Chain A
């Protein structure tokens, strides 16, 4: 029979099964193993099926959360995943990497009654379950492609924004060609987010589906160099272009010693280890620096990934240095918990002041300064204030700044008509049209470093606008 609200609230949130922290420190395999069928049914029963569904407002692509959870509770997994796919193209990915506690789960009635968004219905875990169920059962079928329209659309970049735009554009019947700078498609999902958080096979499956739909992918193709946006429009016959080139330019701290041997941007460190698979030392040619004592600077997902990767590559001690406190960390809560379980050491309210090198120009120590929390700043967070004279040095052989990324200027420099803001993000209207005719943009190149689900949502919106504009004859 039907459960009462009280009974539903009485079901404890199902723990995510995970690899043992000691074991996983030595491998690249996924940490979170996914719910069992029994767990997913129980977790789905926790959902109160709220009439106003506040959770939906927290999801950037407005997935019909109560409906898909209802179907999961009934064991109707195909129906469940079909509901999700009406709104999201990459559920196996978003179920894993969305910062749920700040999105759908933040608004969930269950979490509100238990006074902790972490105790909300584990929406992402259920989403992951049904998406994995579909993939593992071999039930993924490429979406139906509409009748050919004769239009040809180019997509720059193969991250979540580009892949989503490509899928929707192809579904609408346009010919679609993706241009990707790297030798493998997938964007940050391939080169940045590690295997232990997002198995590459999942991303590869999404790309295989796109290719099965007839989307053509040109790898090793750098727009702005190999060919410009103008070339694509004027020489190669593209009717419209979507730019989803991401935010790929690493920020450094501008402190002394930043160019010493042993200082790597998180992008470099993660690209070497993920895309280039440097962890597979016996088989691959790309080297990775041998580290004993590592300091990662920053508190976001990028910092957590770099720190946990360093641990897996054999570092004896991994430190995270962060200016604020645990509460302000922008990283997903689950990743911080996992990092702590794995033995990563956190230095909150600390900030690096300089990096010290030995006579061979290699890092040998990091100088840090203590901070305390002062008055709240514009964002409402209490501002960290340096404590004068509190500097001290920690011996260290590797320093990895993970301070986020800004946009790569290449496309902007080679496409005169595009307009950007002072951070280099492309300016678009509310349907993702840039200031240049026939050119649209979305994802991190528009939002600044954001999230997979937001990038996906932007790709969808732009694709819809492109189809609308092409078929309405807006561009003549």
Chain B
């Protein structure tokens, strides 16, 4: 089960993996995610978006950035290995309708979860303008795939090594000023999503963001993923992950995301210096 069929390195620390998960491939819709765990006894549960799926082949695709212990261990797996535990598809699918012109904004690894949404908007008959941002050219992922499903692609890099030297909010603002935007979906680091929300707010353009809060079960049982949306508390794993950007309390969300910073750094460090290196399937190397 969950056997890895294909592994590709998209940039220095970003990987794409295709693995077998026939039920999930059949059931998943754009905007949904998985919870994976690499070791049943010692591993943690982490959420990753379903970046693509092939129902016929019974496979799904994840694209992830190795940022800490679990994502690094995942990146160390190879074709033929299997992922111990995969739960999904989770979350409420993106509400895809034909609205006219949709702008999809992806920053960094946020381009991965954006990919199935861009695809679905296009299939629903919308004009899709995609804005992709990265720190530099080497870190840009999925350009080809995005071009294949978008009517127009605008690329921004922080250092100007490719596309425009700008933040993604700049072209977003310009499009809003032209008055052609019916809807916006923005996925990326919380700070980027917060500024996208501030950019579209004065124009009254409906804007959705996909939140990446800390999760445990992913089924609505623990409440660890909760965020403040308007006057309400919502659970990202079941009520989301997408919410109206103009109602999200991003500042609180960003603080909650860092709740375990110290322990995470410790875990990652311990892993790198080989004090406690375990194979993903358990047992000690």
Contacts and interface: CB of A to CB of B under 8 A. Distances in A.
Interface string B24-56: 100100000000010011111100000000000
B267 A285 contact: yes
Given A259-B226, A259-B227, A283-B276, A183 B255 contact: no
A285 B262 CA distance: 13
Nearest to A281: B263
Interface in A208-235: 219-222, 225-227
A258 B85 contact: no
A391 interface: no
Contact of A286 (B45, B220, B256): B45
Contacts of A222: 87-88, 90, 219
B110 interface: no
Contacts of A219: 85
A285 B224 CA distance: 16
A277 interface: yes
B90 A285 contact: no
A250 B221 contact: yes
A285 B252 contact: no
A183 B40 CA distance: 7
B223 A283 contact: no
B259 interface: yes
B226 to A, nearest CB: 6
A259 B230 CA distance: 13
Contact of B45 (A261, A267, A276): A276
Nearest to A227: B23
Interface string B194-221: 0000000000000000000000110111
Interface in A248-277: 248-250, 252, 254, 258-262, 264-265, 267-268, 271-272, 276-277
Contacts of A225: 27, 88-90
A227 B256 CA distance: 32
A290 B221 CA distance: 22
A227 B267 CA distance: 35
A399 to B, nearest CB: 13
Interface in A284-320: 284-290
B151 interface: no
A145 interface: no
A408 B238 CA distance: 10
B223 A268 contact: yes
Nearest to B42: A284
Interface string B241-285: 000000001011001101110111001000000001000000000
Nearest to A251: B223
B221 A408 contact: yes
B243 to A, nearest CB: 14
Contact of B252 (A290, A361, A408): A361
A250 B256 contact: no
A267 B222 contact: yes
Contacts of B238: 410
A252 B223 contact: yes
A184 interface: yes
B69 interface: yes
Nearest to B43: A285
A133 interface: no
B255 A261 contact: yes
Contacts of B90: 222, 225
B224 A268 contact: yes
B264 A287 contact: yes
Question: Is the interface on chain A under 10, 10 to 19, 20 to 34, or 35 or more residues?
Answer: 35 or more
B70 interface: yes
Contact of A285 (B27, B70, B227, B249): B70
A348 interface: no
A470 interface: no
A433 B130 CA distance: 51
B45 A249 contact: no
Contacts of A259: 226-228, 233, 249, 252, 256
A309 to B, nearest CB: 14
A182 interface: yes
Task: Select the residue from A221, A260, A277, A286 with max chain B CB neighbours within 10 A.
Answer: A286
A226 B44 contact: no
Interface in B165-199: none
Contacts of B262: 290
B24 to A, nearest CB: 7
B86 interface: yes
B217 to A, nearest CB: 7
Contacts of A290: 262-263
Contacts of A220: 85-87
B220 A249 contact: yes
Interface string A174-203: 000000011110000000000000000000
B222 A265 contact: yes
A282 interface: yes
B223 A226 contact: no
Interface of B: 23-24, 27, 37, 40-45, 69-70, 84-90, 216-217, 219-224, 226-228, 233, 238, 249, 251-252, 255-256, 258-260, 262-264, 267, 276
Q: Which 4 A-B pairs have the closest CB atoms?
A: A361-B255, A287-B263, A268-B222, A285-B44
Given A261-B258, A277-B42, A282-B276, 9 more contacts: A181-B219, A259-B249, A262-B259, A267-B221, A271-B216, A276-B216, A277-B41, A280-B42, A287-B263
22 contacts: A183-B40, A183-B45, A225-B27, A248-B220, A250-B223, A252-B223, A254-B233, A259-B226, A259-B228, A264-B223, A268-B222, A283-B42, A283-B276, A285-B42, A285-B43, A286-B44, A286-B216, A287-B264, A290-B263, A362-B255, A408-B219, A408-B221
